[in-house]
Chain A
Amino acid sequence: MSISIPELLTNDGFITAGERDAIEKHSVASGLSFIKIALTLGYISRKNYDRSILNAGYHIHEAPREEAYDPQVLSKIDLSFAHERLAMPLRIENNKVVCLMASPDDALFIDFIRFTYDLEPQIIIASDMDITWLSNKLLGDKYIKSAVFELMKRDPDSSAVVTFSTAQLIFIFVLIGIVTIGLILSFKNTSIIINVIISSFFLVAIIFKLFLALVGSRFELYQAVTKDDLKQVYDDDLPIYTILLPVYKEDKLIKKLIWNLQSIDYPRHKLDIKLLIEEDDDKTFNAVKNLDFPAIFEVIVVPFHMPKTKPKACNYGLHFARGKYLTIYDAEDIPDTDQLKKVVSLFGKLPEEYICVQSALNYFNRNENFLTRMFTLEYSYWFDYMLPGLDTLDIPIPLGGTSNHFKLEELIELGAWDPFNVTEDADLGVRAYAKGYKIAIINSTTYEEANNEPFNWVRQRSRWIKGYMQTYLVHMRNPVALWKEIGWKGFLGFNFFIGATPVTFLVYPLLLTFFICYVVFDLSGIRTLFPDWVLFMSIFNLMVGNILMIYINMIAVFKRRYYELILFAIANPIYWLMHSVAAYKGLYQLIVKPFYWEKTNHGLSKVNSPTNIVK
């Protein structure tokens, strides 16, 4: 077979001569094989490639996973190289190295085989997806180990592998002991003290949120990156940008995902998009394999290893990232099309200590049902007011799950994400502050799919709340050290924002019960237990707290011009009850299975999600 694959594809009309030149140029510059670029940067679909290969008389091995392999042979190749070339050796047979290759004419790989094994290769052509799966499975062991244990080894104090430290356990049990003794000795007085403390805490936590919201809303007209700034960004000067897309059983969203990624305004050859698929996720794997149009991402298969969490997958993907900057999107995310350019521009303006930029998150299906409306209200105040408020006050920002853009080198230096923490993003935000780095907020939004199903919502929320508890426990192992690292403002902010959030959800039903017993049913028992001033105080705290929370929600959607949602803010107390259910579930899981990742199902929305083109 004398004709080369690039020639073959050009002759078959799947790529133009110009595209072929562009691929070859990119290949020389990046070190990636021709076929890797062609298949992962949107030049040709896998189906068309297979068609071309078969028409040229090649045979494609359909079940390469069943092929025998020799660990000795495998030990001589690195996973990165296998990724770059979409090829790997399997074993030595008949004095030849049996190799799986996506493109049979990859001279560099063939030379590698000859040089390394001093034998000729015996080429088996296989799908690039199968080669990727097999290479990650067989060669990814050290990478997956690093993804799981790197932070734990490097900085054990920052790892959530231990949920409760000994000191924390002693503190908790001593506290329980004191309360129990107090209740036995003087049930009434102890109950009064507990009531006053939790109700006051509730109010203070909400007033703090109002304060943050007001501070944040003050700068709502401020644009971190203006249109003029964007005009100064030239394509040729842009660095390589890595996008990690951790997915699990998101087969329905793959086409949507490609559509959204294609809309991003960034030079295609400077995008390094990595779809992270779990080893056992055949659904997504097959959906990608069977795509009948060009994909614009590279697939990385994450080998099986516990804990099975998103941060572990991201850490694994990080090993192969080539970009200067890196971001994470979920499969259903629709970022503003100019988001990456805005981030590059902002990083250019910010001082060196800023290592992360967080975009706002909001929902495209906000008017779908009650839950999506409430979710939109919540996200609007969180990302439009709370985070800018924290940013202004120089308090650690708990990063959102997606659309946080990092400087790759500094991210690695920080130890990346904690695979044992189920809100790895929030944890990373605090860790970054503790190490002296800063996080900025950008005026760009990523639209996500709001959870529209109550049980799915509780699952997702319980994970978030559990993660907040984990993050709080991790960073409060040594409160004095944390105080020194992030200052008194950061320390108080951390306590009231990360620590107080789960606690307010946990105490909310208790306060509500007092309120119902006292005001609605007028139970005599509660009046005997608590004097009037205590009941007055707890009801005052509850009511004022609720009113302020409703108000914060109202002002947030006012800013976003979602006027139709404004009245839904009144339903916030009901929404809070759902939070409380999730909080108790999260607390239970924190104790019995702290690393368990409650999977959120995406793609449930029936709302069409148009691309958010920024003009």
Chain B
Amino acid sequence: MKLTGTIFLSILAFILVIYYLVCGIYLNHLGYYNHESLFYIEKSKIVFEGLGNRLKVMGLTSPILPFYATFIFNIFSTTLAPVLASAVGTGVLFYIIASTVAKRLPDEGYIWLLLILFLFHPGIIYTAASGKSIYLILIFFFLFFLNLFKFYRSNTTFHVSIASLCLVILIFCDYKFIWLTLFFIPLVLAITINSLNLGEQESIFRLFISFNSPSLRRKLINKTFALYIILFSLPLAAVLCYKLLNLTHANDLNYFAESPYATWNVLIDKLSFDQLTTNTNYRIPETSILLSARVVLFCPMILIAIYLFRESTYQVLTILIPFAFIEFLHIKYDKVFLAYQYYMIFLILAYLCVIFKAHTVKNHKSFKILLLLTVLVQLYFGWYYLRTSSIAEEQNFTNAFFNRQPDSTQANNVDVANYLNSLPTNSHVLLDDAIAYNIVAFTKDIKPVIMPYESNFLSALETPDKYVDYIVVATAKNIVSGYTQLNEKYIFSVKRTIPNVNFRKVFVTDDWIVYRVITNRSGNTL
């Protein structure tokens, strides 16, 4: 059986999935969780077990596709669903890349190189075992660029429209990728100029000739515009519809991107900013100019890719677009550290370029040795970047996975959840899942929990004595206590406005206090 055969690649992908699952479950046992996967777990619980406006949660939770991707794995385990999804998804990513290699290169060595990356690269393991949506981003990032490169070669509508569809999916996996479109604007013009039937070869002169001839100018404009439309109309229309959906269901066009009820990274980004402003040591590597250099260090294979495409102007420009994209993200979201997935996209892109151009290399043996060396460098820097990441949950991952240290980040939340699990089934709990979604993710039954997606949440907030028996409140120590109404100030204000109500602390952790609601009339006590 050939290594490049479909069955063999499927078996390899399957083995990888098992390997990732082992890693993921092992991490899970060490207590490793991250905000994104906990957010998905909590929202899945609402969709499948909740009692309120579940349609809104289902439709407006963002990023929507990674969220939906976890649904099918809820059959096996709600808590492990994101990890299962990412493990299987990363296996699929391997299969897609490997089958592309198999179609284009007869040499099995490139599959082995890919296998080394997928087995040992810390970033890939992080992608597969963390339960985050990186796997989907990488899959569709790969497919998007693959189809673009195919389009450059074949000039067929099929590839450009598939690229457009991949871009739509990519945007719904991570909304920030909408900015990628910005950098394609000059590129599309370059592609059009190149495709015009002119004797002149030099791009700048081609542009000059095209602008100075009325018929060529019209042709250039029409074609450029048409290409923009084919490439970007679908993503833009999809985003517009999604925003309208947000407007009609949440009265806010950007609800999906700006509400902590809709997406997990609003609060995380704010926290990141808080850390940045309170930290006295400014993180030098994250300065803008060095970012691209960091990427090159993270993925030196991209240099080989650029070298391979050195004679194709717009292919090189295409490779440079993700650099411009991350630099832009860094400027646009200057209060946020660049997450690991934005480095990982280069790993995928570089390998894609190698697949595309490896056949032009004369000495395959030396080339593969060079690639192997770069892969080894990438493995080291993959680990190094993860270990020294400015984002806490990336650091936690290395601690848990490589140092095998139990991760106690979520211990507080698990304790509170366990307490809530132990309460009588008929008691109701008021909780704001904007910040406490990680508690809900660990609860066994969410029916007694009253959260903002339910219509009676505001009534319960105003008159807790009539609706709930317990309230989960963020302590002053909780770093996100400022982002919810259910903090200690709330207890005081309720006491002031409803004299008959009293609260008793029944469970306390560093971040949370669970209060029992007591009405003075009944004199109920715990």
Contact = CB atoms under 8 A, between A and B. Distances in A.
Given A536-B55, A547-B238, A220 B157 contact: yes
Interface stretch (A23-31, A132-140, A151-159, A554-562): A554-562
A555 B163 CA distance: 12
B4 interface: no
B235 to A, nearest CB: 11
Q: A interface, by DSSP: helix, strand, loop or mixed?
A: helix
B370 interface: no
B248 A214 contact: no
Nearest to A518: B248
For chain B, which range describes its interface: under 10, 10 to 19, 20 to 34, or 35 or more residues?
A: 20 to 34
B158 A563 contact: no
A391 to B, nearest CB: 15
A543 B229 CA distance: 18
Most buried by B among A533, A559, A563: A563
A217 interface: yes
Given A221-B154, A536-B55, A554 B233 contact: yes
B113 to A, nearest CB: 29
Contact of A563 (B55, B157, B225): B225
Given A220-B156, A567-B229, A555 B237 contact: no
B230 A554 contact: yes
B222 A558 contact: no
A547 B237 contact: yes
B161 A214 contact: yes
Given A554-B229, A563-B223, A567-B229, A220 B158 contact: yes
Contact of A564 (B158, B222, B230, B248): B222
Contacts of A536: 55, 59, 249
A70 interface: no
Contacts of B155: 221
A566 B225 contact: yes
A218 B222 contact: no
A566 B160 CA distance: 15
A193 interface: no
B229 A519 contact: no
Given A214-B162, A221-B156, A566-B229, A532 B55 contact: yes
B423 interface: no
Contacts of B230: 554-555, 558, 566
Contacts of A567: 229
Contacts of A550: 233
A324 to B, nearest CB: 35
Most buried by A among B154, B225, B237, B249: B237
B319 to A, nearest CB: 25
Nearest to B164: A551
Contacts of A558: 157, 160, 226-227, 230
Nearest to A219: B158
Nearest to A548: B234
Interface in B232-263: 233-234, 237-238, 241, 248-249
A550 B237 CA distance: 11
Contact of B157 (A544, A555, A564): A555
Given A536-B55, A563-B226, A566-B225, A555 B156 contact: no
A507 B55 CA distance: 25
A218 B151 CA distance: 11
Interface residues of A, number: 23
A559 B248 contact: no
Contacts, number: 56
A353 B225 CA distance: 44
A551 B233 contact: yes
Contacts of A221: 154-156
B234 A218 contact: no
Nearest to B55: A533
Interface in A528-575: 532-533, 536, 543-544, 547, 550-551, 554-556, 558-559, 563-564, 566-567
Nearest to A384: B157
A556 B222 CA distance: 15
A202 to B, nearest CB: 16
Contacts of B229: 554, 566-567
A512 to B, nearest CB: 16
A218 B59 CA distance: 33
Contacts of B161: 214, 217, 551, 555
A543 B233 CA distance: 14
A551 B248 contact: no
Nearest to B158: A217
Most buried by A among B155, B222, B229: B229
Nearest to B241: A543
A550 B59 CA distance: 24
A221 B150 CA distance: 13
Nearest to B53: A532
A214 B163 CA distance: 12
Contacts of B154: 221
A378 to B, nearest CB: 16
A242 B318 CA distance: 53
A217 B156 contact: yes
B408 to A, nearest CB: 41
Contacts of B248: 519
A554 to B, nearest CB: 6
Interface string B136-175: 0000000000000000001111101110000000000000
A441 to B, nearest CB: 16
A533 B154 CA distance: 43
A221 B59 CA distance: 40
Contacts of A554: 229-230, 233
A567 B230 CA distance: 10
A607 to B, nearest CB: 20
A594 to B, nearest CB: 39
A563 B161 CA distance: 15
Interface string B203-245: 0000000000000000000110111011001100110010000
Nearest to A559: B157
Contacts of B234: 547, 551
A214 B233 contact: no
A592 B320 CA distance: 65
A511 to B, nearest CB: 15
Given A551-B161, A555-B161, A563-B223, A218 B156 contact: yes
Interface string A192-222: 0000000000000000000000100110110
Nearest to B226: A563
A547 B241 contact: yes
Contacts of B158: 214, 217-218, 220
Nearest to A531: B55
B378 to A, nearest CB: 34
A532 B57 CA distance: 13
Contacts of B233: 550-551, 554
Nearest to B54: A533
Contacts of B226: 558, 563, 566
Contacts of B249: 536
A547 B235 CA distance: 11
Interface string A563-593: 1101100000000000000000000000000
Nearest to A567: B229
A535 to B, nearest CB: 10
Contacts of A532: 55
A555 B154 CA distance: 15
Interface of A: 214, 217-218, 220-221, 519, 532-533, 536, 543-544, 547, 550-551, 554-556, 558-559, 563-564, 566-567
5 smallest CB-CB distances across A and B, nearest first, come from: A563-B222, A217-B158, A563-B226, A218-B158, A559-B157
23 contacts: A217-B161, A218-B156, A220-B156, A221-B154, A221-B155, A519-B248, A532-B55, A543-B241, A544-B241, A547-B234, A547-B238, A547-B241, A551-B161, A555-B157, A555-B161, A556-B157, A558-B157, A558-B230, A559-B156, A559-B157, A563-B223, A563-B226, A566-B229
Given A218-B156, A220-B158, A554-B229, 8 more contacts: A217-B157, A519-B248, A547-B241, A550-B233, A555-B161, A556-B157, A563-B225, A564-B222
